[in-house]
Structure 1
Amino acid sequence: MALAVVVVMFVTLTLDALVVRSQDPSDIRIDTSEIQSVLNDSPAAAEASVDEPSPIDLLSLISRGGRFMIPIGLMSLLVVALAAERILTLRENKIIPRTLVMELRAISEPAENFNPNIAFHTCNDFPSPAATAIRAMLLRTGQPIGEIENAAKETIQREADGHAAPIRWLNLAAAATPLMGLLGTVWGMIVAFHESTTLTADRSRSEQLSEGIYTALVTTLAGLIVAIPAAMFAQYLENRLAKLFNQIEELAFELAPRMAPLVGRRRLDNQGTMHSMDRVKSNHEPARPPAPPVPQKMRSEAKPG
């Protein structure tokens, strides 16, 4: 810009000098206002010659992505729905109800007064993964403590697997969506180079390729926009799931020693009723077969003469 001003001033002074030489010195008049106007207008003219790029519009980008934006858009809806559903489901009070924990601890204090019958019906009043695990453990009343704890572990693992299944879809979305965007980009690049082989007279090859690459990169951008939140939600939900089910396991192992006095003595049926294990064994013990009759000859020989 400074160079342009210097050039304008130089040209103006040269022209004035030529005019002065051709005219009578008495007729020379210098109009300083014209020079000032030239100096003021030259920067504006230079700035006006620079074209500012138009801002990027989101809707125009989506429309430029073409048909490859459709699966990416569907995957984004899936990510939002799964993340919202899992966040609402994996609430602490829904997985481990506070009232259930308080009542179970109240029942188990002191330890010798723990009643599996009351604990079983308490679990039925608060349906949740924690109640399911504790109820499965109570149904093993009367068995060794190791088997009771194994029953709790297996039930907790099944419940955790069921709640982790939707999170696996988030991991799938985080892995597959960038590949969808990359596929759209590769296809767009192929189309751009193909169209650059047949150019019109008013367009250059560089202009054609830049427009095609600009359009092709839109799908990669969309894929990353969907994949990054999906990966973050999946990691957050997996950590939350592990934390909640570890708390269930701690609660189960806290209650298991309370059932030690009942080992081999009493059991709990599926309706939550306690039974004596001795009575159960006597009811299921098969009757002894009657002794075979003694032959008549052996009876006569056994009699004294």
Structure 2
Amino acid sequence: MEIDWIPGMEGLLLKELPEFLRYSKPDDPSFKYLLETAQAADNVSHIIIHTFEELEAKLVKEIKSIFPNIYTVGPLQLHLNQITKMETKNLDLDCYSLRKEEPECVQWLQSKEPNSVVYVNFGSIAVMSLQELLEFGWGLVNSNLYFLWIIRTDLVDGEPVVLPQELKEAMSEKGFVGSWCSQEEVLNHPAVGGFLTHGGWGSIIESLSAGVPMVCWPFSGDQQINCRQMCKEWEVSMEIERNVKRDEVEKLVRVLMEGEEGERMRKKAMEWKKTAETAVAANGSSCFDIEKLADTIINL
């Protein structure tokens, strides 16, 4: 069913809306929270969004027609990259992760050829069943591609991550498993050619900033609609079905890394990278909005 009443989201299908909007009852906590958040927006004078205007031009235009004081300030990492070491000598802006990052992940990448590694990370809060973890594991192994997989200790819902010995041995041949890493550094490493992600907003922005195409397995929240935008609007991703199967994982990561479709998405991702860099450069849309926001704060 096509949804035709959301401004700036023409052609949206019902199944592409977040699950809590499709299935929740009015008294559902998630639905109530989002409703209250939307209502609270009427009472704020300024709204800051971590995006860049060119990426979501239609949506930004529609929101500005309702809330004029909208500031698109992303990608934030690219802003940080522009700050010189002299300006940040007393600040630690290179690492802002709440988890301990393992440098071994990047060290492992050093020996790999350009665009030869699939980076796999499902974010900081997404969880899956053990069976889903096994499907991803065997799919990656069967692809016969190098992969760097971040497996958090709490990635499996309700139980510790215990991989069968057979899978652990198979994964060790071409894979490297860590518990956390510097995602920006990994995505910008020449060896990384694709990103298997849950489609969280931070991961999307970081991947586009690095020019890396994706395969998306949306888990919850905004990730389903994010995945829709990645696949249909920005043309940088393919979607894995919610009921994940190893054959599909194998097929899609191979297409991502070796197929013509993957190459087309890689070129598109590089175009978005250049657009993002332009947005944060002097006189770019995000740079302009940050300066305007700063002036507004100073003059309050």
TM-score normalized with structure 1 length: 0.18
Q: Which has the higher helix share?
A: 1
- Bigger Cα Rg: 1
Q: Which has the higher strand share?
A: 2
TM-score normalized with structure 2 length: 0.19
Comparing both chains, which one has the higher relative contact order based on Cα–Cα distances under 8 Å and sequence gaps of 6 or more? 1
